[in-house]
A and B are shown apart, each in its own frame.
Chain A
Amino acid sequence: NAGVTQTPKFRVLKTGQSMTLLCAQDMNHEYMYWYRQDPGMGLRLIHYSVGEGTTAKGEVPDGYNVSRLKKQNFLLGLESAAPSQTSVYFCASSPRERGTGELFFGEGSRLTVL
């Protein structure tokens, strides 16, 4: 019963490098989200998706891109990493039933940009 799985769990990048974080859920959820969590800033929404093939911007989308080619996967890409993107990234998913659906989180991906 995997739930929401994020890979990788840890990564160190140099400024300017690119990378992709993968989120996979096995609960057949429609909605998927990428958050970042920083000390003193709480959880902030980067991008989200309300279904396969759809994506939308959250509060802090700059410097990130996402794709939802398959319902179970939601990818977060950093095109040119910056030290300000050092953070812990969380993926979450929720069933379609608005008003009743819980949010389920992955374990997080800790990214350091040097």
Chain B
Amino acid sequence: KQEVTQIPAALSVPEGENLVLNCSFTDSAIYNLQWFRQDPGKGLTSLLLIQSSQREQTSGRLNASLDKSSGRSTLYIAASQPGDSATYLCAVPLMDSSYKLIFGSGTRLLVRP
């Protein structure tokens, strides 16, 4: 059974710091892994999607890496800003016809000015 874990559950850093969010999954047979951002009271916004054949994806100050063999992904945020404050979730789809996503519980990030 696929399980997705995110550590830490919460993180508070000063503005400008580089930071890493962690995501681990128990079944390494995945199609892809997706990182989302959720602002309070809002829906989820897709940040990055890494295919199983890829090692990393970059979008602006965000870089996501994937190590299938160890069941881990990291989201690196460079030069953090107060606007980056949000909850970050990772998710992987089940390897069946449903393409259902299994979500981690998220990391709540606060970037202090």
Contacts and interface: CB of A to CB of B under 8 A. Distances in A.
B103 A105 contact: no
Contact of A107 (B34, B42, B91, B100): B42
B99 A102 contact: no
Determine the main DSSP class of A at the interface with B: strand
Interface of A: 4, 31, 33, 42-43, 45, 48, 50, 56, 58, 90, 92, 94, 98-108
B100 A48 contact: yes
B46 to A, nearest CB: 5
A42 B90 CA distance: 11
Contact of B104 (A31, A42, A45, A105): A42
A103 B45 CA distance: 9
Contacts of B97: 50, 98
A103 B51 contact: no
14 contacts: A33-B100, A90-B43, A98-B99, A99-B52, A100-B31, A101-B99, A102-B46, A103-B34, A103-B44, A103-B46, A105-B46, A106-B43, A108-B41, A108-B42
Report the contact-size class of chain B (Cβ under 8 Å from the partner): 20 to 34
Contacts of B101: 33, 45, 103
Contacts of A45: 100-101
Given A48-B98, A94-B99, A99 B51 contact: yes
Contacts of B105: 42
A50 B96 CA distance: 12
Contacts of B89: 43
A48 B102 CA distance: 13
Contacts of A104: 46
B100 A58 contact: yes
Given A31-B99, A98-B97, A99-B32, 5 more contacts: A42-B103, A48-B100, A99-B31, A100-B31, A103-B91
Nearest to B45: A105
Contact of B32 (A42, A43, A100): A100
